[in-house]
């Protein structure tokens, strides 16, 4: 996608609204400045939802290094989404192949454990690609190399092209909270949804022959605790730096609404796909570049154009806003924005019961 195309669509597709026919929209904000790439979120999700046959290769939550190929490899160039902000024509997309996701490798455990081999532990069949193969590689030249981590789940989009792509209406957006789900009884495994999602966040189960995807841990947010308590999605609850805010986009008192709508510092990934994601990111800061003798110079370490390619042109203003508030606090002033970004109070971080009494 060219920058011009991104510019053209940027304004229309960063509009924040709830889809027609949806009462409230669940949303998540992730602060990329806090992600340490530990994959705890990935494992929390995997243990809960994708351990069964045919789902071994799936990571409904994955964390990839940027710049980097991502998971599945090259997903950002795999098409899908919408041709225009009218959401009437879908853009053609591709279905990644097994190698792009990375096959599960078989290791030489048996030889080492039971047959006395002194070979190092390694995959049996010449592994050449897999999730996080290019972890921490990043880009740039020393001493100005850079990378950051990008955690990704399904965006539970306001205009989900995966839903439109399914000729069986097996995918749908829940009226009560906008979560996008696959009805397993209706799905026939045609994989149009995999092709139609530009984020490649629907997966085909090769055993059940049906599609599967992130369900925003809906049993948890509906209240599965012994006393009917709600829990945030496992990826959010388990995150050591607690970088995910979970709630509703239309909860005007909540931090998500403030970060997205009022301060406009939380941005959707690749808005040019036009699906209007409901997962938002606080873009990453990095120290300025260094000269060879270690002096800091006023040049962005992460090229601004790279961030524009990921988050659209709004990233310039978002970074300026955060910087201005940071300076204000450094000079002894107060900033609601900085408090929102640093708040570790679970009652504010996860606001899932605000619409329960309606
Ligand atoms: S991210 Fe993809 S799978 Fe999720 S709702 Fe959007 S289009 Fe559908
Ligand atoms: S658990 Fe949190 S810090 Fe660790 S990789 Fe996931 S989002 Fe990043």
Separation between Cα atoms, residue 150 and residue 76, nearest integer Å: 13
Separation between Cα atoms, residue 249 and residue 260, nearest integer Å: 8
- Percentage of the chain exceeding pLDDT 70: 95
Whether 9 has a pLDDT exceeding 80, the answer reads no
Q: What is the dihedral of CA 115, 119, 120, 122, to 10 degrees?
A: -80
- Percentage of the chain exceeding pLDDT 90: 84
pTM attached to this predicted model: 0.93
Question: Atom of ligand 1 at shortest distance to CA of 163?
Answer: 8
Instruction: Identify which of 307, 311, 303 has the alpha carbon closest to the alpha carbon of residue 267.
Output: 311
Question: Atom of ligand 1 at shortest distance to CA of 214?
Answer: 4
Separation between Cα atoms, residue 116 and residue 196, nearest integer Å: 49
The H or E element containing residue 339 is helix 336-342
Neighbours of 168 (CB within 10 A): 13
The pLDDT value given to residue 105: 84
Whether 344 has a pLDDT exceeding 90, the answer reads no
The H or E element containing residue 13 is helix 3-13
The pLDDT value given to residue 10: 45
Q: When comparing pLDDT for 71 and 353, which is higher?
A: 71
In this structure, which ligand is nearest to the CA of 241?
A: 2
The pLDDT value given to residue 357: 55
What mean pLDDT is predicted for residues 9-14?
45
**Ligand 1 in contact with 156 (CB < 6 A)?**
yes
Taking each helix axis from N to C end, the angle separating 304-311 and 3-13, rounded to the nearest 10 degrees, works out to 50
The pLDDT value given to residue 358: 54
- Token code pair at residue 79: 């098409």
Centre of ligand 1 to C-alpha 220, Å, is 20
Separation between Cα atoms, residue 243 and residue 277, nearest integer Å: 18
Is 1 buried (19+), middle (13-18) or exposed (0-12) by CB count in 10 A?
middle
Q: What is the mean pLDDT of the chain?
A: 92
Q: For 238-291, how does the pLDDT look when each residue is reduced to its tens digit (9 = 90+)?
A: 999 999 999 999 999 999 999 999 999 999 999 999 999 999 999 999 989 999
Separation between Cα atoms, residue 24 and residue 175, nearest integer Å: 8
Q: For 101-152, how does the pLDDT look when each residue is reduced to its tens digit (9 = 90+)?
A: 998 788 999 999 999 999 999 988 778 899 999 999 999 998 999 999 999 9
Residue 125 CB contacts under 8 Å (≥ 6 apart), including other chains: 105, 106
**Ligand 1 in contact with 73 (CB < 6 A)?**
no
**Ligand 1 in contact with 157 (CB < 6 A)?**
yes
């Amino acid at each position: 996608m060219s920058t011009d195309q991104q510019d053209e669509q940027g304004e229309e597709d960063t509009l924040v609204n709830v889809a027609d026919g949806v009462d409230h929209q669940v949303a998540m904000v992730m602060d990329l400045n806090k992600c340490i790439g530990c994959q705890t979120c990935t494992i929390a999700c995997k243990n809960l939802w994708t351990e069964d046959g045919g789902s071994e290769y799936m990571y409904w939550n994955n964390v990839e290094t940027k710049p980097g190929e991502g998971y599945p490899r090259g997903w950002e160039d795999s098409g899908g989404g919408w041709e225009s902000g009218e959401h009437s024509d879908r853009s053609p997309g591709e279905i990644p192949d097994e190698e792009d996701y990375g096959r599960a490798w078989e290791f030489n455990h048996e030889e080492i454990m039971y047959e006395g081999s002194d070979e190092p532990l390694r995959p049996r069949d010449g592994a050449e690609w897999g999730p996080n193969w290019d972890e921490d590689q990043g880009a740039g030249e020393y001493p100005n190399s850079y990378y950051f981590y990008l955690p990704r789940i399904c965006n539970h989009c306001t205009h989900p092209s995966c839903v439109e792509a399914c000729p069986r209406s097996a995918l749908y957006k829940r009226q009560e909270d906008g979560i996008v789900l696959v009805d397993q009884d209706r799905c026939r495994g045609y994989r149009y949804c995999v092709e139609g999602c530009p984020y490649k966040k629907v997966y085909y189960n090769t055993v059940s022959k049906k599609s599967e995807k992130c369900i925003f841990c809906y049993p948890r947010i509906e209240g599965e605790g012994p006393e009917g308590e709600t829990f945030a999605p496992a990826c959010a609850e388990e995150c050591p730096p607690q970088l995910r805010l979970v709630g509703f986009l239309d909860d005007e008192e909540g931090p998500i609404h403030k970060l997205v709508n009022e301060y406009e510092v939380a941005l959707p990934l690749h808005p040019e796909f036009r699906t209007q994601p409901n997962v938002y990111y606080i873009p990453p800061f990095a120290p300025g570049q260094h000269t060879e003798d270690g002096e800091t110079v006023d040049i962005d370490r992460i090229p601004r154009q790279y961030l524009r390619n990921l988050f659209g042109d709004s990233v310039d203003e978002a970074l300026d806003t955060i910087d201005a508030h940071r300076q204000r606090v450094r000079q002894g002033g107060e900033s609601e924005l900085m408090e929102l970004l640093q708040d570790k109070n679970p009652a504010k971080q996860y606001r899932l019961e605000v619409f329960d009494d309606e």
